[in-house]
Chain A
Amino acid sequence: MGKHSFLKVVVLGLFIATAVAFSSAQAINSGAQPIALNATLGESLTVNLSAAAVNFTLTAGSAANPGSTTITATTAWVLKPGRTAMTVDAYFASAAAALTDGAGNNIPSSAFFISDNGGASAALVNTVAFGGANAGLRLANVAIGGGNRAGSRTDLMAYNINLTGGTLPNLPAGTYTGTLNIQAQATP
């Protein structure tokens, strides 16, 4: 076999080897195995207060008995689509006895006032989402839409107790205690 013929054989061999290699280079795929993913991003609605106590030095029969401090309620929310409103309420458990001396002498919620964000003082005489009937005050009602599903607001509350109404001018001396609650709600 001459040199030329030998080269021909080598070239032919390479060609065949290449063809075989290409013919066997088909991809083999496994079946596709699915993994179901389920992720939940929860709603949140929180209220934080700058302080948790207010003191009052009462004067018998006086209309002006301001609280010792203002309190800021900061409401933050992250709501899912479909919510249309978010409210912030201040309330007592009972309209008849917002504060009491524990001996049957009470200061009703109608004598307790809040000025929210510098607005006019308003008595807690409404029925709101929480608390007793006629024992609350709605501080804020925020419409919720696509632009504010997440947000926050502050309510700066100044307090006053008015002792001029009804039998309150005759309220006996003593220590009167009570709990005012601040709570937010998103609807529907």
Chain B
Amino acid sequence: MFEKNKIRTFLSCAALVVLAVAGCSAQVINSAARPISLNATLQEAVTVTLSANAVNFTLTRGSANNPGSTAITATTQWTLRPRIGFVSVYAFFSTSAAALTDGAGNNIPSSAFSISNNGGAFQPLTNTVPFGGANAGLMLSRWLILGFNRTGTHNDVMDFNINLTGSPNLPPGTYTGTLTIQAQAI
């Protein structure tokens, strides 16, 4: 009987030792780190959207004041890389001689077409800009790009007028043309 108790005591101690050893060997095992290279590119972008894309004019022969039927807002949005530069917005025709035409050889030149931008004075499209024909454009606005405004939005509210004092003998008819708005970051 005494021997039996000894054996039980021995077995209990042995079990405790086994458990202790097992507990000591349960450490976390980590694999090697496997890197994944991430590369995200946000492209530079400059966009222009217009609040409308048509303007009508009811012309009066020889009159300086022939306003367009509606103003149009050009909204320019940009996302640029860090740089120092400018964003410019231009309005232009493809040719200065015939901004609008009746298709029968009678034309309204770009010099007779004026834009008032954001309430400023009316200015004819007589400058050479990066787009369009020579002497057929107007820079609406330009702003400096610095660190704080690499992304942003700008509005140009354009009012239009056709001055016919330089074309007093323009024959009656329907004159059509296309004015283009485009922005450039440089």
Let me know if B186 and A27 touch, CB within 8 A: yes
Binding site for A on B (CB under 8 A): 44-50, 52-61, 66, 72, 74, 76, 80-81, 83, 85, 99-100, 104, 106, 108, 113, 130-131, 160, 162, 164, 169-186
Let me know if B185 and A28 touch, CB within 8 A: yes
Let me know if A39 and B66 touch, CB within 8 A: yes
Binding site for B on A (CB under 8 A): 24-44, 78-81, 149-150
Give Cα distance in the complex from A31 to B182, angstroms. Answer: 6
Residues of B with C-beta under 8 A to A26: 186
| Chain B, residue nearest A43 (CB) | B172
Let me know if A34 and B184 touch, CB within 8 A: no
Closest beta carbon of chain B to A123's beta carbon, Å: 36
Which of B53, B61, B176 meets A39, CB within 8 Å? B176
Let me know if A28 and B74 touch, CB within 8 A: no
| Chain B, residue nearest A42 (CB) | B172
Residues of A with C-beta under 8 A to B100: 37, 39
Give Cα distance in the complex from A29 to B80, angstroms. Answer: 12
Which of A27, A30, A149, A150 meets B48, CB within 8 Å? A30
Let me know if A30 and B47 touch, CB within 8 A: yes
Let me know if B54 and A36 touch, CB within 8 A: yes
Residues of A with C-beta under 8 A to B56: 38-40
| Chain B, residue nearest A26 (CB) | B186
A-B CB contact pairs (8 Å), 14 listed: A27-B185, A28-B44, A32-B181, A34-B53, A34-B178, A35-B52, A38-B176, A40-B174, A41-B61, A44-B61, A80-B173, A81-B104, A149-B172, A150-B169
Which of B59, B83, B171, B177 meets A40, CB within 8 Å? B59
